Structure 1
Amino acid sequence: MRFTPQFLDELRARLPVSEVVGKRVRLKRAGKEWKGLSPFQQEKTPSFTVNDQKGFYHDFSSGRHGNIFDFVMETEGVSFPEAVERLASMAGMPLPAVTPDAARHEQRRKTLHDVMELAAKFFADTLASRNGAKARGYLADRAISPATQLQFRLGYAAAERFGLKEFLGSQGISTDDMVEAGLLVAGDDIPVPYDRFRDRVMFPITDLRGRVIAFGGRALEKDVPAKYLNSPETPLFHKGDNLYNLATARQAAHDGAALIVVEGYVDVIAMVTSGFAGAVAPLGTALTENQLALLWKMADEPILCFDGDRAGQKAAYRAADLALPHLKPGKSLRFALLPEGQDPDDLARSGGRGAIEEVISAARGLAEVLWSREIEGGNFATPERRAALEARIGELTNAVRDEVVRRYYRQDFAERLQRNFAPEAARGGYGRG
């Protein structure tokens, strides 16, 4: 098989249907969908719809229906392999090499998915058993009910060094498969591979299709090197390309829920149980470009909700700088800062949905966050200091790659400079070149 299901799934994830169709059809937003005139036959009233969340187009006038591959084949008269090649070029994805190992590699991934599913069931069963009492106590203290534990498939990795290894071995899973899936710690200096996760509450991490691809483990003892431990990079899992609760949040966002990014697993669970089903979290790292691209496929303006401390503010600024070069017309971010010393879990428990809604409703736009950072604590009493501020603002706007968005950012910041300082500050523009 030339194109593996994994490659085709990645291509679909990178290319919204509206982006592909928009090359040939002038589309206009219509609620959760896009509408335009049929590319297959003449019509005066638009009956052609595109749904990015579901990944298909439908032409009511001709009855044609399909995905991005079907559209390219239909409109360009090419075969499926040719359609894939053209779309891969559009997405900037290299085509997979044709090797005798390709089919075996795909079968290997399927095997690893099976291993991860078995591990998730083992951890969940352990949580429900007598050995899981301590973990259940921790979850109860965090107000995570048994029903919520089942909803998120939470589990517990007992303190034994070989508990998971022995269970998977009894199911016919080889040690090599366990190591490759990231479930065991192995190496030249380790004579006998052992369980990576021990005495930890387990949070399964799934892909867009809901398959378990990794785990996050929260330690129950205080004197451990890492309070949270994630799976390592594996053939299934690349932490910078995924988000916790991604599949569920994508559906929720499609159904109209706000897409909200918080910092941790428990924060996501607190948000979801408070009625905010579109909550996701990065996986132990700062937000990445690939995660940002995922967010924008689900919503035009995701809301980043950070802890109300200095670290949370710095995280917001990092995300703002990350987003700036990638802004597109209609695509931006909003920022919601929590009360000092509180995270979403704290706020949900102390104030419930109403308290969270208040924070989300006060979310600020990206331009406002950047402006606040640049003037924070500054003294602009002299012309030279105001000029330095204008120069910094010019550098920020130059980072925006999209010409139209860049032009509006220059206008926005020029108006802010004019409102806050002397009218001369905006004359002659800035950030030219």
Structure 2
Amino acid sequence: MALSPQWLDELRARISLSSLIGRTVRLQKAGHEHKACCPFHDEKSPSFTVSDQKGFYHCFGCGAHGDAIRWMTDQRGLPFIDAVKELASEAGLEMPAPDPQAMQAAERRAGLHDVTQAAQEWFAAQLQSDAGSAAREYLAGRGFDAHTAARFGFGYAPADRQALQQALGQFDEKELIEAGLRVAVEGKPPYDRFRDRLMLPIQDQRGRVIGFGGRILQSGSDAPKYLNSPDTPLFDKGRSLYNLHRAGPASRQTGRMIVVEGYMDVVALAAAGIEDAVAPMGTAVTEQQIELLWRQVPRPILCFDGDAAGQRAAMRAATRALPMLRPSHSLSIVTLPAGKDPDDLLKEKGRAALEDLLAAPASLLDMLWQHERDAQPLHSPEDKAGLKARLLAHVEAIGDTDIAALYRRELLERFSAFAFPPRERRPWVKNSSAAPFQRGVFRKAPDPVLSPEASQRLRRMSEGGSRDGLAAAVIAGLMRHPAEVMRHADALSRYAASDARIAPVVDSLLDAAEALEPGRTSPISDGESQAAPPEDTRFSFLVEGTEPQVAREDLAEAVSLLVERPALEAALAAATARFETDPEGAFAEQQRLLKRKLAFEKRLGQMASNRAARVAQDNSEPVPAQGDALTGQVTD
């Protein structure tokens, strides 16, 4: 089986070394690296380091050193080929075919590096010739000095269709075509791909030339402004980032990685002293490029142009990142002024203005909210419902259930605050004890009381641990924490619309909360001595002494679950009813909904576990059983 160096490099690039080693060794974050006590020898203080950026581990005590493959062979004891197979399966990389021709192909690809390097040297020489005068003028107009041009390897491709082939006659025509430098057309002679263009080499993480980008110099031409090498055995534009071999070391000093739209933006930033910038090449940021970025920093910054196209590109990158989100890994976004790219901002306001924007980027969640809120007019209820549907569609795309739950809560809270602002409060009432015509005599509103009908319904819901235990707990929790009622007014109204039995309770609760003065925290009374279910409930927000922040967070999660439950039950019932007419589709839909139900139960179960753990810690008691998420009943 032929395992070429290029294939092994690709395998190593796809594996997160810290995640691999962290399965059996307890790693601690230490700057850009991880540290631990060495698994290869006994030690009391950690001298074993793991670097994702460098792609190796090293022990300063015993000298153990290696990459992901070496870890599998030395620590796991696997044979080399078995270690490679296991890592390839995890990385989603197909093993090379056990064919002797594969080795020959690998050797041929290795030879292409000689072709691209020779082409780069020739392009650079052409820039200094008489034919390259227009290209030199363009660089000077952009403010790029000779040092910047030499550092980034700027060159020039002459207009002659056969110039490159004549200059690189030591290579076969087939090699020039395979490297993407020449174009083969059936029935016609091959010709140079890049003609009359300012050239930039594209390099891999080891600094080897793998492709080129060319900018046209003639204004008004019908040809594309920028032209990149096609995908070749060396170059895959969806898996490569321009300037990563320079920006990687710089990012280890700054702790950030900036993603701009094009390679000329990268050069402009570097010329201004900002070295930690990379760019995709003519495509939106791909999933593979996001993984490359996360190997450098956990939260790279997208800094795309301020025009509509730039913002669309940023949004495409955001939606591609959603299914990949994992704890501590996300994207940040900087929005440039309308119609400006980084180079424009640098020339007009200087480096400090751009650094200020980079220092305060928006989060991925902020971007989703702002983009969808501003995407369409929001004049009618239907418009607002569309906004909510778009937000929840993004949440559904998130693979990590914990992150999805947090995004759901935050986005729904923003939606409620935006679409349903609090109704006008009625904090003052006429003092009935004062004389009928005495002017200016008022008293503060008393502690609100639920209506007798609402109080009776609430007591019936609470008795006997009924199916409405979750609803009763939420209502009682809001009575204990009335300042939270209006925060969840929209969610409560939606739930009341789905259950006529609870509508009077919700209406009374909203009316009572509106009667509170701003900042008033007195509980809402139900007119009886008991205003909530028993104190031994699993919900923290019903227990005296719970930290206010903990109570608010748990109460918000319970409200979210309460609103989600009817829709989930209705969808399950509808899927079951479809079995006779569409068994295959109904089954698939039912399985999807059952997965959501399990996630639902897990979320409510986690609330129970957290509450039980706190009780057990305080009272030294065992943790009780969790409850059924859809019924609110406790089960053994």
Aligned match of 1:428: 560
Aligned match of 2:400: 402
Distance 2:61 2:262 in 1: 47
Within the alignment, does 1:329 sit opposite 2:327 as a pair?
A: yes
Aligned match of 1:362: 360
Letter of the 1:240 partner, please give it.
G
Aligned match of 1:183: 181
Within the alignment, does 1:267 sit opposite 2:265 as a pair?
A: yes
Contact 1:250–1:278, Cα closer than 8 Å, also in 2: yes
Q: Relative to structure 1, is the Cα distance of residues 40 and 411 closer, same or farther in structure 2, using a 3 angstrom cutoff?
A: farther
Within the alignment, does 1:21 sit opposite 2:28 as a pair?
A: no
TM-score by length of 2: 0.65
Distance 1:233 1:409 in 2: 37
Distance 2:244 2:375 in 1: 38
Contact 2:200–2:213, Cα closer than 8 Å, also in 1: yes
Shift of 1:382: 6.0
Aligned match of 1:213: 210
Contact 1:249–1:279, Cα closer than 8 Å, also in 2: yes
Aligned match of 1:160: 160
Aligned match of 1:235: 233
Q: Over residues 372-422 of structure 1, what are the superposed CA-to-partner deviations in whole Å (9 max), with x where a residue is unaligned?
A: 122116565666554443333222111100122212212322332344335
Q: Relative to structure 1, is the Cα distance of residues 376 and 185 closer, same or farther in structure 2, using a 3 angstrom cutoff?
A: same
Distance 2:267 2:78 in 1: 46
Distance 1:418 1:102 in 2: 59
**Could you say what secondary structure the match of 1:308 adopts?**
coil
Q: Over residues 73-92 of structure 1, what are the superposed CA-to-partner deviations in whole Å (9 max), with x where a residue is unaligned?
A: 12211222221112112212
Aligned match of 2:299: 301
Q: Relative to structure 1, is the Cα distance of residues 346 and 388 closer, same or farther in structure 2, using a 3 angstrom cutoff?
A: closer
Contact 2:409–2:560, Cα closer than 8 Å, also in 1: no
Aligned match of 2:107: 107
Shift of 1:257: 4.8
Q: Over residues 223-242 of structure 1, what are the superposed CA-to-partner deviations in whole Å (9 max), with x where a residue is unaligned?
A: 13211111112111111111
Distance 1:133 1:392 in 2: 52
Distance 2:213 2:240 in 1: 13
Shift of 1:107: 1.3
| Identity among equivalent pairs (%) | 47
Aligned match of 2:496: none
Within the alignment, does 1:204 sit opposite 2:191 as a pair?
A: no
Distance 2:178 2:51 in 1: 37
Q: Relative to structure 1, is the Cα distance of residues 344 and 7 closer, same or farther in structure 2, using a 3 angstrom cutoff?
A: same
CA RMSD of aligned residues (A): 1.9
- Unaligned 5+ residue runs, structure 2? 422-487, 492-558, 569-595, 597-636
Distance 1:178 1:47 in 2: 49
Q: Relative to structure 1, is the Cα distance of residues 411 and 231 closer, same or farther in structure 2, using a 3 angstrom cutoff?
A: same
Distance 2:138 2:191 in 1: 25
Q: Select between 359-368 and 199-208 the one with higher mean Cα deviation.
A: 359-368
Query: Which residues in structure 2 correspond to 1:112-151 (within 5 Å)?
Result: 112-151=112-151
Which of 389, 414, 417 is the aligned partner of 2:415? Answer: 417
Contact 2:261–2:310, Cα closer than 8 Å, also in 1: no
Shift of 1:61: 4.4
**Larger RCO, structures 1/2 (Cα 8 Å, 6+ apart):** 1
Aligned match of 1:173: 171
Contact 1:184–1:194, Cα closer than 8 Å, also in 2: yes
**Could you say what secondary structure the match of 1:96 adopts?**
coil
Contact 2:2–2:100, Cα closer than 8 Å, also in 1: no
**Could you say what secondary structure the match of 2:26 adopts?**
coil
Shift of 1:43: 4.4
Contact 1:417–1:425, Cα closer than 8 Å, also in 2: no
Q: Over residues 9-53 of structure 1, what are the superposed CA-to-partner deviations in whole Å (9 max), with x where a residue is unaligned?
A: 001111121021012112221111112233234445433221111
Aligned match of 1:390: 388
Aligned match of 1:245: 243
Q: Select between 413-422 and 327-336 the one with higher mean Cα deviation.
A: 413-422
Letter of the 1:9 partner, please give it.
D
**Could you say what secondary structure the match of 2:168 adopts?**
helix
Which one has a bigger Cα radius of gyration?
A: 2
Contact 1:214–1:230, Cα closer than 8 Å, also in 2: yes
Q: Over residues 182-232 of structure 1, what are the superposed CA-to-partner deviations in whole Å (9 max), with x where a residue is unaligned?
A: 111212132x21111111000111111111111111111121321111111
**Could you say what secondary structure the match of 2:350 adopts?**
helix
**Could you say what secondary structure the match of 2:167 adopts?**
helix
Runs (4+) off by over 6 Å? none
Query: Which residues in structure 2 correspond to 1:282-297 (within 5 Å)?
Result: 282-297=280-295
TM-score by length of 1: 0.94
Higher strand proportion: 1
Q: Relative to structure 1, is the Cα distance of residues 379 and 84 closer, same or farther in structure 2, using a 3 angstrom cutoff?
A: same
Distance 1:131 1:386 in 2: 60
Say how many residue pairs are matched.
430
Distance 1:262 1:280 in 2: 6
Distance 1:378 1:9 in 2: 46
**Could you say what secondary structure the match of 2:334 adopts?**
strand
Shift of 1:70: 1.5
